[in-house]
Structure 1
């Protein structure tokens, strides 16, 4: 990535971003062609530069699902850096970001269960109910992960959510999640 673009993302400087776009209209497309890359969205979101992150996401929505060389999406990095406000804004723009599988198949929902953040867990389930169905490469559901890390409040929230959602997909939940 161009150092000027990296600097603009690290500083959250939208004017500098558009200056670079004026100089090279394909600056973001060049990055988008690389399969695993740290994008300006990864950088800005991790640093908590909300407006810059949202502007990049608006210009290049594909960046929100792109994994960096370590296997993390911008949403994963935002969570790791405890940028709660940024992650909620990203989800407002695209609720399916909860389902993006990163390294070892871990989704943002798996991660918030691991750290026991029940507020985000509830928000993620509300935003994208199907995210509860995702399994890691270790064949672990979000329920497994909550218990593995002794996050009993998260586990209770997940069970309560399943009980409330039971009427919709009863056989799926029982077969795929609870009996796992």
Structure 2
């Protein structure tokens, strides 16, 4: 199937955390789908500075930290590259094994 923007991608990118969490409960598989730009919903939430949505996603499914997007980047990689020490620490506490994920 082609990469598409799901309703979870759209709600996450727009910062609608309530709707995004409702979509997560109805269709959790959407959280791992990549859009045409190679981003999952948690990647979009992080890139759009919607920290509350990122926190909600991780509280529902900690393995979303390990979803690989464009060029194999996980949200941990993006957080580390941008120097967000608070989120980096939180991700490593929640999912210590994510430190072993590699990019392409």
Asked which structure has the greater CA Rg, the reply is 1
Q: Which has the higher contact order (CA 8 A, sep 6+)?
A: 2
CA–CA distance in structure 2, aligned partners of residues 51 and 120 of structure 1: 21
Task: Give the count of matched residue pairs.
Answer: 104
Runs of 4+ in 1 over 3 A off after TM superposition: none
1:101 paired residue among 34, 52, 68: 68
- Which residue is 2:36 aligned to? 69
Structure 1 length-normalised TM: 0.57
- Residue by residue over 1:29-75, the C-alpha shift from the partner in whole angstroms, topping out at 9 and shown as x without a partner, is xxxxx441111111111111111000001000000000001110001
- Residue by residue over 1:120-163, the C-alpha shift from the partner in whole angstroms, topping out at 9 and shown as x without a partner, is 001111111111000100xxxxxxxxxxxxxxxxxxxxxxxxxx
CA–CA distance in structure 2, aligned partners of residues 129 and 80 of structure 1: 22
Quote the offset at 1:83 in angstroms.
0.4
- Which residue is 1:57 aligned to? 24
Q: Mark the runs of 5 or more structure 1 residues left unpaired by the alignment.
A: 1-33, 138-180
- Which residue is 1:15 aligned to? none
Cα RMSD for the two superposed structures: 0.8
- Which residue is 2:78 aligned to? 111
CA contact (8 A) 1:45 1:74 kept: yes
2:88 paired residue among 92, 115, 121: 121
Q: Mark the runs of 5 or more structure 2 residues left unpaired by the alignment.
A: none
